Structure 1
Amino acid sequence: MRYAICFTPTPSDPLSQVAANWLGRNVFSGEMVEPPAIRGIGIHEIAFHTAVPRRYGFHGVLKAPFHLAPDVSETQLLRDMMRFSGSFQPFRIPRIEVARLHNYFSLVPSVPCEYMHYLASAVVQHFDRFRAPLSEAEIERSDPDGLSAAQFANLHRWGNPYVMDEFRFHMPVTGPVNLVDMPRIEQALRNVFEPVLAEPVTVANIALMIEEGTGGPFRVHSLHPMGKVSARKIA
């Protein structure tokens, strides 16, 4: 079993509901969802292109999946997450948009969000004591030969190449897409998501996600509200 610390909107947020429909799975309940009918792209093609993010559920990773260190417990992790989340004030990402990252698509802030970058860096550092060291097999799966010097250092120090200065917040909505299919998939994504991207995204919770068995899907175990009780009312 692995854990991950992420951001995802609340279950009632329209963005969560649209993302669950697109990916074909609700990250909170784990239930499969019938994909939407979209002109120009069939449901089987949607299922193919969303296979990777469907397993992980709709989220933006803050601390990548990790095994618990042998000297800590899930109870301790949950207790620490409650304390930690209360020390950060909720904030808003003014706008997010569909964007191509390498050969896949994600939802990303239209302009870099310093608050999210700071939160992610703090999560990586604060919860590192809960992370078991990477195995040799896990290091190899990260393709260390293809990493930059900074990414390689991050991999060995924090268990993930893409943290600190290498971090870019994103919420994946496809797996790899062939170059020839990209324009059509991008248009489908815009048709599906843009109606719910007009409003700012409120970041008022940190999610603990858990992998269901080895190699199984991830689901939200718990949401940990940010800020003191009075401050949470802005969300």
Structure 2
Amino acid sequence: MSGTTWGADARFAVYYAPANGSNWWRAGSAWLGRDAEQNRPCTAPQPSELTRPLAELTEAPRRYGWHGTLVAPFKLDAQTTREDLLAAARAWAATQRSFELPVEAATLGDFVALRPTGQDGDARMREVAASALRALDSLRAKPSAEDLARRLAAPLSERQRALLIEWGYPYVFDEFRFHMTLSSSLADEQERSTLVAWWQGCAGILGPLQIDQAALFVEPAPGEPFVLWERVRFNREGT
């Protein structure tokens, strides 16, 4: 994707995204109603058990695209170019080893998401995310005092507050939990249960996620949909 229209306030993120054209990419993008790589709408079948349109249940994650966060959105340091970021992301990806990740559908608070099925998968994704954060941290702009104060006003533990101050995000390292969001916040327990059951079936058919790449996503301007800018493939084979 060309970055010629990106504003000065553009934010970048490193996400896990299934391979373009894979069944996982098509299924997740259709479910959310948008292909973030093509930046165009797409649709999935409506589960018959739902009493309202699927699009209403997926509005929040649709803006971000089908992904699992590795490095949360950040602005670039004034001395850093997009080319610097891409080069650093590619260099980091070259150090990563591909593996398979079994996943299951679950509720996270009021949300529905895909999660690793076991502690081993959770730990491996935490390692991938931590290495990406360390590799790219020097490229991010530090938040303004006002922005930091706003973020610190959220209900956070002392550990999370310390991580936010040092790393720009509270849910990193030991606080990180890999997930791929499937819904907005849903107050209705029955709706959450319906989505979990639907995606448990899908996960059984689609099989493990192939963790063999990451992707740079960009929010061109505040509030705009995130788009997949560039994929960076892992260069080391095997588990």
Common fold: TM-score over 0.5: yes
How big is each residue's C-alpha offset from its partner over 1:146-175, in whole Å with a ceiling of 9 and x where there is no partner?
Answer: 100110001111110000110000011111
Alignment check: 8 A CA contact 2:17 2:68 kept: yes
- Report the Cα offset of residue 182 of structure 1: 2.2
Alignment check: 8 A CA contact 1:152 1:161 kept: yes
Query: C-alpha separation between the residues in 2 aligned to 1:136 and 1:33?
Result: 40
Is 1:111 aligned to 2:115, yes or no? no
2:212 to 198, 204, 217: 204
Query: C-alpha separation between the residues in 2 aligned to 1:190 and 1:18?
Result: 15
How big is each residue's C-alpha offset from its partner over 1:26-64, in whole Å with a ceiling of 9 and x where there is no partner?
Answer: 1211111134222122563x2222111000011010110
1:26/1:97 CA distance change after superposition, 3 Å: same
- Taking structure 1 as the reference length, the TM-score comes to 0.89
Structure 1 counterpart of 2:88: 80
Alignment check: 8 A CA contact 1:97 1:194 kept: no
Alignment check: 8 A CA contact 1:89 1:227 kept: yes
- Taking structure 2 as the reference length, the TM-score comes to 0.88
Query: C-alpha separation between the residues in 2 aligned to 1:43 and 1:177?
Result: 12
Alignment check: 8 A CA contact 1:37 1:43 kept: no
Alignment check: 8 A CA contact 1:97 1:107 kept: yes
Structure 2 counterpart of 1:170: 179
Query: C-alpha separation between the residues in 1 aligned to 2:210 and 2:186?
Result: 29
Unaligned runs of 5+ in 2: 1-9
Query: C-alpha separation between the residues in 1 aligned to 2:230 and 2:200?
Result: 25
- Report the Cα offset of residue 105 of structure 1: 1.0
- Of all paired residues, the percent bearing the same amino acid is 27
Aligned partner of residue 48 in structure 2, secondary structure: coil
Structure 2 counterpart of 1:102: 109
- Report the Cα offset of residue 82 of structure 1: 1.1
Alignment check: 8 A CA contact 1:210 1:219 kept: yes
Aligned residue pair count = 227
Is 1:190 aligned to 2:197, yes or no? yes
Structure 2 counterpart of 1:121: 130
1:40/1:211 CA distance change after superposition, 3 Å: same
1:159 to 165, 168, 175: 168
CA RMSD of aligned residues (A): 1.9
Unaligned runs of 5+ in 1: none
